[in-house]
Amino acid sequence: MLKFFNTLSRQVEEFQPIESGKVRMYICGPTVWNFAHIGNFRTFIFGDVLRRYLKFKGFELTHVMNLTDIDDRIINEAAARNISIDEFTEPFAQYFLEDFDALGNERPEIIPRATHHIAEMIDIISTLLDNGHAYESDGSIYYRITAFPEYGKLSKINFSGNRDGGSERIDTDKYDKEDARDFALWKLVGPDDQPGWDAPFGRGRPGWHIECSAMAMKYLGETFDLHAGGQDLQFPHHENEIAQSEGATGKQFAKYWIHSEFLKIDDVTMSKSKGNFFTFRDLKDQGYSPLAIRYLLLSVPYRKQLNFTFEGLQGAESTTERLRNFRSLVKESSGTGEEKDAVELVMIALKKFETAMDDDMNTAAALAAVHDMVREVNTVIAERSLSNDEKEAVLDAVSQFDAVLGIFGAETSEILDNDIENLIEDRQQARANRDFARSDEIRDLLAEQGIVLEDTKDGVRWKRK
RNA sequence: GGCGGUGUAGCCAAGUGGUAAGGCAGAGGUCUGCAAAACCUUUAUUCAUCGGUUCAAUUCCGAUCACCGCCUCCA
């Protein structure tokens, strides 16, 4: 039975989709104003594992991840470069998707952009103005918090006790708002200012939160199953999305809210504003593999802060290497054995894996099941040949695990060019002649080209480093 | 100031009222011409500290300490 911790109730709840067998899910994507760092990607990898696990459980999925391509930072940066916001955001949108793909994430069904949904935002704002949930002040439109008594139900923020001494940047009254908590839905801009869009309530640009309400409801309906994102979005972003959406429709917006925790580095949150971040590209340039980065980021359950260390990343590198070796070893095994006890091991591992993932996506426990199976099957292989049934069962389990986690890497069935084949052959000859100096020389030569050789009792194996 | 979360071996970490998963790193061994891969053995009398409840607590309660976060742009 699949269970999630729902931020709305602060409890682990059984997951029941609105429509049997189908899941509609929205995950807040990036604001494309810079390269995404690995803390950002922790959330997207979490979202990907969530997506894949829902599919694993047999749900038909509609998954939306937006790209926010308009906000104050974007406007400022574009203005500073004297280019349009599209010219500024487009490269970052592409970089993001490249990195997203490289980290082994499946593309969501729909990846909408905020600037393509201005009309939908205007519709919602109009509705909110009509029903009294929004008001105009100095040409801008604000959400009226007092018209939505449930405000705060997600973040559980006690607004009475947090006025003084807390935030250093409590909104100073640069706008004339009815209530300090009210937030902008639509910001007035001048007739010639860019970017700006005409709306019945005046030319302007959207506030920060309205884009997600608009895109979520457009593609998933007024009420949908799952809404997820980084925990920093819980307040104010998600709280405000709820206020806007439910204020406009009078219906529940999302049934389950799931938030992933931060990634820390040296025990401090990794964030752009603190400057203590690594982008995916930084780590790749240092020679770390996308697979290991992915493994590390998903190895800690999503609700727990993950402390990033290079020691840990190096460990993930070793671990993923071991997983890859394992799959190759099984694939290359002859399947001539008679016994079947490994089939039983595999069944147990699959069961444990599913139980762990059902339990609010406990990836650490799920990985333990994978590793148990790997070790146990390796032990069998060390002793005897796998039978065909065993081989099939193991490979099937690997592909099931990998359908969810994506940590075994791409299956490569490369062929070597003739030169390399010949070198390997020469080396075997040298070894037969006990000319080990020559054989080691060839091994080193191949290593330089990224070909690693392993001598086994069944002959020589090779793999790419 | 209000609210929430963490603290388990060198590192990353799971977990439960009944006596500590898994991975990495380390040590020893098997195999190998040597490696590599793989396997085996080993690595926390102990789960931040101090009390309490209990036959029994790492797990429940209380206090203390340390760290993280939200209340403010941020996945």
The per-residue DSSP string of A344-390 comes to HHHHHHHHHHHHHHHBT--HHHHHHHHHHHHHHHHHHHHHSPPBHHH
Which nucleotide's C1' atom has the smallest distance to the CA of A262?
B75
Work out the number of other CB atoms within 10 angstroms of the CB of residue A54: 22
What backbone phi and psi angles, to 5 degrees, belong to A405?
-100, -35
What backbone phi and psi angles, to 5 degrees, belong to A85?
-65, -30
Q: Which nucleotides of B are covered by protein (CB under 7 A)?
A: 1-6, 10-15, 21-25, 31-40, 67-75
CA atoms of A390 and A341, how far apart (whole Å): 8
Q: Are residues A247 and A361 in the same domain?
A: no
Q: Which two tokens stand for residue A428?
A: 């075997």
Count: domains in chain A: 3
Q: What is the CATH number of the domain that holds A321?
A: 1.10.730.10
pLDDT given for residue A413 in this prediction: 67
For A420-425, what is the mean pLDDT?
89
pLDDT for residue A356 is more than 90: yes
Domain that holds residue A306: 280-405
Q: Are residues A335 and A204 in the same domain?
A: no
Which nucleotide's C1' atom has the smallest distance to the CA of A454?
B36
The separation, in Å, between residue A261 CA and nucleotide B69 C1' comes to 9
The bridge status of strand A204-206 relative to strand A184-188 is antiparallel
pLDDT given for residue A24 in this prediction: 98
pLDDT for residue A400 is more than 60: yes
- How large is the ipTM? 0.95
Confidence band, pLDDT 50/70/90 cuts, at residue A162: very low
Q: Which of A381, A402, A403, A387 is nearest to A323 (CA)?
A: A402
Q: Are residues A400 and A435 in the same domain?
A: no
The separation, in Å, between residue A316 CA and nucleotide B9 C1' comes to 19
The separation, in Å, between residue A359 CA and nucleotide B16 C1' comes to 15
Q: How far is CA A154 from CA A28, A166, A222, in A?
A: 16, 20, 18
pLDDT digits (tens, 9 = 90+) for A242-257: 999 999 999 999 999 9
pLDDT for residue A110 is more than 60: yes
The separation, in Å, between residue A264 CA and nucleotide B12 C1' comes to 13
Which nucleotide's C1' atom has the smallest distance to the CA of A314?
B24
Which nucleotide's C1' atom has the smallest distance to the CA of A155?
B70
pLDDT for residue A174 is more than 60: no
pLDDT digits (tens, 9 = 90+) for A295-308: 999 999 999 999 89
The separation, in Å, between residue A248 CA and nucleotide B70 C1' comes to 27
Confidence band, pLDDT 50/70/90 cuts, at residue A429: very high
Q: What is the CATH number of the domain that holds A190?
A: 3.40.50.620
Q: Which residue is nearest to nucleotide B32 (CA to C1')?
A: A455
pLDDT digits (tens, 9 = 90+) for A112-150: 999 999 999 999 999 999 999 999 998 999 999 999 999
Q: Are residues A319 and A445 in the same domain?
A: no
Q: Identify the helix (H) or strand (E) that includes residue A224.
A: strand A224-230
The separation, in Å, between residue A5 CA and nucleotide B16 C1' comes to 20
Beta carbons within 8 Å of A348's beta carbon, 6+ residues apart: A373
Q: Are residues A433 and A387 in the same domain?
A: no
pLDDT given for residue A170 in this prediction: 41
pLDDT given for residue A160 in this prediction: 62
pLDDT given for residue A166 in this prediction: 42
Domain boundary (A260, A291, A320) is at A260
